[in-house]
Structure 1
């Protein structure tokens, strides 16, 4: 059984990421009594704790991890809900071994490659979903830090694409970059001042 969660539904820029994590029961029990104690929803953890948990998860050979993502262009094409579902499907498909069932944080998701159960606030109630939330968040944050090297004006390393004041100001000063989600309102508003970018 795989826990599945996403990171990056709300930002104005960058991809939406998803992760699927299979925790074998004995491994989960041993790790939770030691190195994974306190693992919960990634939003409740600071960046340092997320990195620690991430390294434990990816270094444990019995833990299966799949990651999927949808680009900003795909978010615009499919809308954020459709892109999130597609990223989750890709994460499940990228597991080293197929999962027969998925526990998904939040509301039901259609089109997954296996049976699924949706759990509201699942990232705080299921260890495998919490693990998936950490993997998705760390992978996305690292991607945004790389994007910052290509588009330094927007502060992606710090704001991770979210609508921080400095990010909004840069958006209206420089116009959107190719990694901005043009279907999101602040980006649409900024585009009005840069008609050459509307195509």
Structure 2
């Protein structure tokens, strides 16, 4: 299967504009979850385009510039840590993706959503859409969205949040539950950017 096959199927079915949507940051212990929505020009050749998780940081950064320069429309949105705690990560993911779609300057006829979930208990993808499991490796539009979401979140965590809370070394682990991160949590305790809903593992580890 080629990266444009899903888009071609949608175009052949009458959709004029198709956007890919993906999120980044569902698993970390801290910070916001990000989502991106991207509408690419039809059949645009972007050498190296792939699932962001399969790319090096340097390659993601380079592709970010290509995608944001050449996309018909793109949008990045986020749901903050405190919002995640108020709902849950599934609802936060849905909200972030819908916010990203709504941020596009061009209204898509349909959206390709990475994964197998399109709703939580409070929020859902409201735009006409298709779920594609593993879509970031199957759809050019979703692959592009995965790169924008990942790079945007990494820049924020490694830049602003790392500078604000240098003791946690967020730039090194991006907020994921690594050994280093847990050691720093043991030493300093959580900061305001840590998701309380994700600290149960850490607390269980400390008292277990």
Q: CA deviation at 1:98?
A: 1.5
Q: Could you say which residue in structure 2 is the equivalent of 1:195?
A: none
Task: Provide the TM-score with structure 1 as the length reference.
Answer: 0.88
Q: How many angstroms apart in 2 are the aligned matches of 1:53 and 1:134?
A: 7
**Aligned pair 1:58/2:63, yes or no?**
no
Instruction: Mark the runs of 5 or more structure 2 residues left unpaired by the alignment.
Output: 1-17
The answer to whether the 8 A contact 1:93-1:113 is kept is no
Q: How many angstroms apart in 1 are the aligned matches of 2:153 and 2:80?
A: 11
Q: 1:49 is matched with which residue: 59, 63, 85?
A: 59
More displaced stretch, 180-189 vs 12-21: 180-189
The SS at the match of 1:183 is helix
Q: Could you say which residue in structure 1 is the equivalent of 2:140?
A: 127
Query: Aligned residues, how many?
Result: 184
Q: Could you say which residue in structure 1 is the equivalent of 2:173?
A: 159
Q: Could you say which residue in structure 1 is the equivalent of 2:114?
A: 105
Instruction: Mark the runs of 5 or more structure 1 residues left unpaired by the alignment.
Output: 193-199
Runs (4 or more) in structure 1 with deviation over 4 Å come to 187-192
More displaced stretch, 107-116 vs 3-12: 107-116
Q: Could you say which residue in structure 1 is the equivalent of 2:7?
A: none
Q: How many angstroms apart in 1 are the aligned matches of 2:206 and 2:127?
A: 40
Q: CA deviation at 1:37?
A: 1.5
More displaced stretch, 47-56 vs 63-72: 63-72
Q: How many angstroms apart in 2 are the aligned matches of 1:42 and 1:96?
A: 24
What's the Cα RMSD here? 1.6
Q: How many angstroms apart in 2 are the aligned matches of 1:57 and 1:120?
A: 22
